[in-house]
Amino acid sequence: MSVRNALLGLLAQKSRHGYELRSAFVAMLGGEANWDLKPAQVYTTLSRLAEAGLVKQQATLQSGGPEKTIYAITPAGKKELRKWFESPVEASHQQDEVYLKLVLSLATGNADPYHILQTQRASLYRQLHDVTTRRNDTDPERDLAILLLHDQTIMHLEADLRWLDMVEGRLDEIRKQPVPSPLSRTRGRPPNSAKDPPISLPERVKK
Partner DNA sequence: TGACAAATCTAGTAACTTGTTTTATATTAT
Partner DNA sequence: ATAATATAAAACAAGTTACTAGATTTGTCA
Q: Which does 196 bind (CB under 5 to 8 A by kind): DNA, a copy of itself, none?
A: none
Query: Any contact of residue 101 with DNA (CB under 7 A)?
Result: no
Q: Are 177 and 171 in contact (CB under 8 A)?
A: no
Residue 171 C-beta: closest distance to DNA, Å: 26
Closest CA to 10 of 53, 57, 71, 89: 71
Query: Any contact of residue 65 with DNA (CB under 7 A)?
Result: yes
Q: Which residues of 137-149 are buried (b: 16+ CB within 10 A; e: fewer)?
A: ebeeeebeebbeb
Q: Which does 146 bind (CB under 5 to 8 A by kind): a copy of itself, DNA, none?
A: a copy of itself
Q: Residue 190 and residue 173: Cα distance in Å, rounded?
A: 36
# chain residues binding a copy of itself, by CB under 8 A: 90
Q: Find the part of the chain contacting DNA (CB under 7 A) among 81-89, 108-116, 125-133, 191-199.
A: 191-199
Which positions ≥6 away from 78 have C-beta within 8 Å?
12
Residue 142 C-beta: closest distance to DNA, Å: 20
Nearer to DNA among residue 42 and residue 124 (C-beta): 42
Would you give the binding string for a copy of itself spanning residues 70-99, x where CB under 8 A is met? Answer: --------x--xx-xxxxxxxxxxxxxxxx
Would you give the binding string for DNA spanning residues 149-178, x where CB under 7 A is met? Answer: ------------------------------
Q: Residue 49 and residue 52: Cα distance in Å, rounded?
A: 5
Q: Are 167 and 117 in contact (CB under 8 A)?
A: yes
Q: Are 77 and 55 in contact (CB under 8 A)?
A: yes
Residues that bind DNA in the complex, under the rule CB under 7 A: 1-4, 17-20, 23, 36-41, 43-45, 48, 52, 63-69, 184-192, 198, 204
